[in-house]
Amino acid sequence: MLNTAVLLLLVACKSDFPDLAGIQESTSTATATLPALRIVASNPTAVTQTATATATIPTPTATALPATEMVAPSATIPPAETAAATETAQPTETVLPTETTEPSPSAPPVVTPLPAEPPPVAEGQVTVNGIARQDIAVMPEGVRQHVREIFVLGQSYGRDPRAFSKLGDSVTLTDHYMTRFDSGHYALGEYEHLQAAIDHYSGSFSRYGVATRVGLHAWSIFDPLWANKEWCLPDEHMVACEIRLFNPSVLLVKIGSNDSGAASSFDENMRQMVEFAIENGVIPILGTKADRFEGPDDRNNRMIRQIAEDYQIPLWDYDLVAGTLPRRGLGGDEVHMTMADADDYTNPETFKRGYPVSDLTALMTLYEVLQEVTAAGGA
């Protein structure tokens, strides 16, 4: 009887506990596939563009234009205060395929080409840090003649002779870039003659427009996916959109820091942009840059100079002056420029900072363009 009772007790206890043998842990992993995008190449003879598959790129981020600016794209909008240069996000690198060459074990070391040494400055010439005006705003007679021709064409299209637009990356999306000439935070000092350009293009200096964007590359200029969705038409790229909205007679171009991929792609797309501007009666001004983000060979600046010469258009050679500045006028990220509280050209310290010197040299180039615009009857 005792053995039977013990056996019954054991059976009762077992029935009070769950059977753990059947419990198992399982995990699942979800994956998502992003759709590939295609670059759209522009036909420079028409505003409506034709799609051409050339490379897979990441979906571009939303436009970096300040929200307040969207109230009226053609109006002057004071920009929001931006962070210091060292806190600015590093520009994204293009994912276009890079050109590769077979390594040579006996290849000599690469010598980094520098801008040509400017000739001695004659007494009485306008200079910036010892660099003569004509070496900064490069406009020989053939370029001046072509500027007048483009301006006359633009007037037949109804372009605004008192407006210029900006085309650029994050370097241009700050109130330290050109806006001081509209806000009044400047003192020209010995460059007082440049006030004529400030007066003539008043309202354009503080306007960002729809052709400036963080991370912009030369190859994304003509991709409608990078255009502002609120203001631009479907299948309209940002330059066509900017011309339609603001109707400028001049396009100030500052781009190239994000183009570290195939050199042939940068050259091709920059030429396409220049041709589109000229055919639409807009004078393109090509600016060089201080950084070497694409590599020590400085190939983008060399291509910019060559394109300006080939098309006989104004060259704003800021890179030449950047060589006179501490750290080439660049902040901690080696791309964005150093800043000052105002564009005060009566203060010697101003001539050690990237953005105010960039502004001054850009204004000098606009002034030289204005001289030809005035000669062509655009005063």
> What pLDDT score was predicted for residue 32?
33
> What pLDDT score was predicted for residue 105?
40
Alpha-carbon separation of residue 146 from 206, 280, 282, 284, 304 (angstroms): 27, 14, 11, 11, 18
Average pLDDT across the chain, whole number: 77
| Cα dihedral 209, 212, 213, 217 sign | positive
Distance CA 140, CA 153 (A): 20
Output the six-digit token pair for 300.
């983008």
Note the pTM of the prediction, 2 decimals.
Answer: 0.70
What are the tens digits of pLDDT across the range 326-343? Answer: 999 999 888 899 999 999
What are the tens digits of pLDDT across the range 264-313? Answer: 899 999 999 999 999 999 999 999 999 998 889 999 999 999 999 999 99
Classify burial at 316, counting beta carbons within 10 Å of its beta carbon; exposed 0-12, middle 13-18, buried 19 or more: buried
Distance CA 151, CA 128 (A): 28
Query: Residue 329 carries which DSSP code?
Result: G
45 and 222 Cβ atoms separated by less than 8 Å: no
- Centre a 10 Å sphere on the Cβ of residue 300 and count the other Cβ atoms it contains: 27
> What pLDDT score was predicted for residue 307?
98
Calculate mean pLDDT across residues 365-377.
Answer: 95
Distance CA 251, CA 306 (A): 18
Query: What is the phi/psi pair of residue 136, to 5°?
Result: -95, -55
**In degrees to the nearest 10, what's the CA dihedral of 282, 180, 194, 313?**
-30
312 and 318 Cβ atoms separated by less than 8 Å: no
| Cα dihedral 229, 231, 233, 237 sign | negative
**Is 130-375 assigned to CATH 3.40.50.150?**
no
Query: Residue 174 carries which DSSP code?
Result: S
> What pLDDT score was predicted for residue 94?
37
Name the most confidently modeled range: 76-85, 328-337, 345-354: 345-354
**CA angle, 35 then 169 then 250, to 5°:** 120
Output the six-digit token pair for 212.
């400036």
Task: Give me the residue spans of the domains in the chain.
Answer: 130-375
Query: Residue 290 carries which DSSP code?
Result: S
Output the six-digit token pair for 233.
């038409």
- Centre a 10 Å sphere on the Cβ of residue 233 and count the other Cβ atoms it contains: 13
Of the pLDDT bands very low, low, confident and very high (cuts 50, 70, 90), residue 238 is very high
Distance CA 238, CA 221 (A): 6
